[in-house]
């Protein structure tokens, strides 16, 4: 997606080989018009896949997922990283390790919100090691849903996540696949 790649080149910043800072338009300050374009692009790529539901993982996936759900006229479900005191019954959980935050969390879904047979498109801001995506797909499958694929706004394809997901049979669409980074340098696939 050219518009997104250009924005990453102009406003993103590679801090080193692994860390890409995009907090000025994607995950802290958010350009919602750009997210609307991202949602339209995911809707286009998954237009023929009979998607019935959008899922995402709190919290940086929510804005692009909401715009995708709006473009596709579908409900969205937000998988949680913590359980509130009022969400206790009928939940599914799986442990996910976040390399960014260097901690494990219990990814949580109330199973009412994915129906058996639902064709679910998982949207997230980043794909790196794939831990969150595998956790999300696991919960979708445990609820009886069918994972249609992962839509990642940015994928660091030099990390293991995309290859592992493809090897496990999951479809991956990355709007900005980064093949190499170093301080001040970002190269797309």
Q: Are 69 and 84 in contact (CB under 8 A)?
A: no
Should residue 143 be labelled a site residue for a copy of itself when binding is judged by CB under 8 A? Answer: no
Q: If binding is defined by CB under 8 A, does position 112 make contact with a copy of itself?
A: yes
6: contact with a copy of itself by CB under 8 A = no
Sort strands 103-110 and 91-98 into parallel, antiparallel or unpaired. antiparallel
**Which residues face 147 on adjacent strands?**
120
Give CA–CA dist 189/106, Å, rounded: 33
Only one residue has tokens 């990453």, namely 8
> Applying CB under 8 A, does 119 fall inside the site for a copy of itself?
no
Nearer to a copy of itself, 74 or 160 (CB): 74
> Is 43 one of the binding residues for a copy of itself (CB under 8 A)?
no
Is 115 near a copy of itself (CB under 8 A)?
no
Helix axes 62-72, 32-45, angle to 10 degrees: 50
Q: C-beta of 166: minimal distance to a copy of itself in Å? A: 27
Q: Determine which residue in the list 62, 121, 140, 174 makes contact with a copy of itself, applying CB under 8 A.
A: 62
């Amino acid at each position: 997606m050219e518009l997104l790649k250009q924005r990453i080149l102009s406003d993103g910043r590679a801090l080193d080989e692994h860390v890409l800072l995009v907090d000025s338009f994607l995950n802290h300050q958010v350009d919602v018009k750009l997210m609307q374009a991202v949602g339209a692009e995911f809707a286009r790529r998954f237009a023929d896949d009979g998607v019935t539901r959008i899922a995402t993982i709190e919290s940086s996936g929510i804005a692009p997922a909401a715009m995708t759900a709006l473009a596709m006229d579908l409900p969205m479900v937000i998988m949680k990283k913590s359980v509130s005191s009022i969400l206790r019954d009928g939940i599914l959980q799986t442990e996910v390790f976040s390399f960014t935050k260097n901690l494990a969390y219990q990814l949580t879904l109330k199973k009412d919100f994915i129906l058996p047979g639902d064709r679910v498109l998982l949207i997230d801001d980043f794909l790196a090691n794939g831990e969150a995506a595998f956790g999300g797909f696991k919960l979708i499958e445990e609820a009886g849903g069918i994972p249609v694929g992962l839509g990642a706004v940015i994928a660091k394809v030099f990390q293991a996540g995309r290859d592992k997901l493809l090897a496990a049979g999951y479809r991956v669409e990355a709007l900005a696949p980064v093949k190499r980074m170093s301080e001040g340098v970002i190269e797309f696939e």
